[in-house]
Amino acid sequence: MLTLNKNLPIFAESLSELTKNIRVSLEQNVPDSPPPTSHSQFSTPYSQLLQELAETLKSQNASEVDRILEELNQKPLDTNIRETVEKISDEVLLAEYDKAAEILDGFLKQRKGQ
């Protein structure tokens, strides 16, 4: 008990100093404000491929559409993107490029609004 009473003030002072240092460190690492987000820019790791697909669907270049769809299918896509790519692929198989473009345009507009 004597050792505890003797060391308790030293421990309390060390704990107080540690708390102060943590607070200072946390305050230094907090960003002033989050970066501005633009709803006009939809950004995923695959947004460039999706934009390229949109342009290619409008031109109805079958080999290029197939290449981009194949490239997208090789990527680890989130469920929403994966489902959209599957719908587009189905329409392309039916040579419904306009319908596929509508699906992709709707998806991109929806994502921009988020």
- Report pTM: 0.59
- Lowest average pLDDT, out of 13-17, 23-27, 38-42, 76-80, goes to 38-42
> Looking at per-residue confidence, does 41 or 13 come out higher?
13
Residue-wise DSSP of 84-103:
HHHHHHHHHHTT-HHHHHHH
For the record, the structure tokens of 15 come out as 């704990």
pLDDT band at 41 (very low <50, low <70, confident <90, very high): very low
Residue-wise pLDDT tens digits, 62-89 = 999 999 999 999 988 888 899 999 999 9
Average confidence (pLDDT) over 6-13: 80
Is a pLDDT exceeding 70 seen at residue 112? Answer: yes
For the record, the structure tokens of 39 come out as 């709803």
Average pLDDT, the chain: 81
For the record, the structure tokens of 35 come out as 């970066």
